[in-house]
Structure 1
Amino acid sequence: MRPVDPRSPHAAPPPSRGVHHLALNTDDMKATIDFYAGVLGMPLVHALRVPPGVGVGPGNRGNPPFENLRHYFFDAGGDSLVAFFEIPKGAKPQADRNAVAAMQHCSFTTTPAQFDAVMQRLRDAGVDVLGPIDVGAGTQSIYFYDPNGIRLEYSCQHGDGDNPRVLERWTQTRDEALGELRTLSDDAQWLDAVTRHLPASR
């Protein structure tokens, strides 16, 4: 078993070190660039066209089923990316974010200085912002929509300063998790299996 991340308060190391990229869809790449790079300050770092045969051909690996799509990547911070495919206008309807298998929203971690700066950038751009709202675990969030109708969130743990510790804040004790999980199942073996890695106390 590989060593547990020293920042992790639980004892079950995941098989990845985080999100590589989140792939989303737009039908207006220019407006998407203007919002993510210009308003949110996420630099565009990679711009490509999907290679021939990957859209509708035998090489499709789950990409949108169109040829010659733009696929652009933005630096989301923390060594992770947000990517967009540009779907042809009118080819697909706008998704219901509350549908099963849809992305309900995406939250980005910020420091207090970043949190204040992004709120100001959004307000300066005339974007409607909900919050800041206390969302639990010592975290405040703001919510807003991008030009594609994607719900986004910025989350800040003010007490962490410039070193956000998301796992430390959000990992429950075993008893806290069991209090909710017992509403889902009374299988003691299953409950033990999904909570044994959690700490006994904070």
Structure 2
Amino acid sequence: MPAPMRARHSQSPASRGVHHLALNTEDMKLTIDFYTRVLGMPLVHALRVPPGVGTGAGNRGNPPFENLRHYFFDAGGDCLVAFFELPAGAKPQADRNAVAAMQHCSFATTEAQFQVLHQRLLDEGVPVIGPIPVGAQTWSIYFFDPNGIRLEYSWQELDGEDVQVVQRWTQTAEEALAELRTLSDDPAWLDAVTRHLPTHR
């Protein structure tokens, strides 16, 4: 049996991964039902945004409304997905293909759980694109949550229970340079952005 395609780079990232992804909904109950029952992400924290930090000088980057629900779900891998519940009709639906918008969010899973999730979505009548190969021996399905947020679930061939996303998607320096040279021909820049990449798998 072939080994999974993996590579390690030599640069340490400044973060420990995604703490939480903050999204918006107009219907928290519908969102809870979809994320917990269909996607299997347990609700782990439910709070209200403290008074005075919505529309006043104390706003810290959250939506500009007072007394919003802000709920968190366990997405696995020590990562959370969070939702603010906006007042119904207060904001138009975003263009997911605009600059500064979120185009989609992808979640990694095992092949076995991928099959369970895929069937669960079909059983719920959720339209699904895929499974399709998306590169790096990875297969994905795409669908929308009840808020119109585009989501993706992915599994990686030969990983079994040992899912290693960064190692699977790390290219060798030459693989990355084949594309990066279409962006710039500056040797110093190309070296700076690829010197941490391995020379082979």
TM-score normalised over the length of structure 1: 0.95
Q: How far does residue 167 in structure 1 lie from its aligned partner after superposition?
A: 1.3
**One-letter code of the match for 1:173?**
T
**Which 5+ residue runs of structure 2 have no aligned equivalent?**
1-5
Corresponding position of 2:133: 134
| Distance in 2 between residues matched to 1:137 and 1:191, nearest whole Å | 22
Q: Name structure 1 gaps, 5 residues minimum.
A: 1-6
**1:144-191 deviation line (CA, Å, top 9, x unaligned):** 000000000000013100111111111011011111111111111111
**Contact 2:7–2:200, Cα closer than 8 Å, also in 1:** no
Quote the residue 1:114 is aligned against: 113
What is residue 170 of structure 2 aligned with on the other side?
Answer: 171
Deviation at 1:8, TM superposition (A): 6.8
Query: For 1:57-109, what per-residue CA distance to the aligned partner results, in whole angstroms no more than 9, with x for missing partners?
Result: 12111000000000000000011100000011111000111000100000000
Cα distance in 2 between the residues matched to 1:136 and 1:104: 18
TM-score, normalising length from structure 2? Answer: 0.95
Q: Which residue matches 2:40?
A: 41
Match of 1:159, SS state, is coil
1: CA distance, partners of 2:197 / 2:40: 36
- The code of the aligned residue for 1:52 comes to P
Q: For the residues of structure 1 that align with 2:141 and 2:172, how far apart are their CA atoms?
A: 27
Distance (Å, rounded) in 1 between the aligned partners of 2:62 and 2:7? 33
Pair 1:90-2:89 in alignment: yes
Correspondence 1:59 to 2:58: yes
Distance in 1 (alpha carbons) for counterparts of 2:108 and 2:158: 13
- Quick one: percent identity of the two aligned structures? 77
Q: Aligned pair count?
A: 196
Distance 1:97 1:126, change over 3 A: same
CA distance in 1, matches of 2:178, 2:112: 35
Equivalent residues of 2:109, 2:153 under 8 A apart:
yes
